[in-house]
Amino acid sequence: MPMTRSTRTLTTEAARAARQWYVADADGQVLGRLATRVANVLRGKHNPGFSPHLDAGDFVVVVNAEKIRLTGNKLQEKQYIRHSEYPGGLRRATAAQVLAKHPTRVVYEAVVGMLPKNRLGRKLATKLKVYAGPDHPHQAQRPLPLS
């Protein structure tokens, strides 16, 4: 007689129904430490029913991205590289230049770089909202502060 094992797991529907919104204030926080915390919440690793192949994470709103802190010489030495897909279209910018012109891009790329590089990661990235200042249009979702 074969043994049967019954374990209850959090289904996809139950995980989506229990989604929460969080707001993280980036004012004075170190970029990598904030990005790690945000990526874990987006991924759903804080939930007891975490499953690596499911989207069971929560929404995260990051405010004050322009006040993020980088340690060491990263402001002058860290390079952000992009390509326009045209010949000679390689563009480089330091972290200080990107932070001055597009402050949300620094936080967004740090978090997305910590997510899986597949369809699931692209889906999880849509639940990240980054704003340069303290205001955001997601007050109706009543986001909780992210510790």
The residue-averaged pLDDT of 98-127 equals 97
Q: Which two tokens stand for residue 63?
A: 């405010």
The chain-wide mean pLDDT, for the chain, equals 92
CB 21 within 8 A of CB 143: yes
- Which residue would you say has higher pLDDT here, 11 or 58? 58
Per-residue pLDDT at 107 exceeds 80: yes
Per-residue pLDDT at 33 exceeds 60: yes
In one-letter notation, the amino acid at residue 121 is: G
Q: Is 129 helix (H, G, I), strand (E, B) or coil?
A: strand
CB 129 within 8 A of CB 6: no
For residue 49, what pLDDT is reported? 78
pLDDT band, residue 96 (cuts 50/70/90): very high
Please state the pTM of the whole predicted model: 0.87
Fold of 12-145: Ribosomal Protein L13p; Chain: A; (3.90.1180)
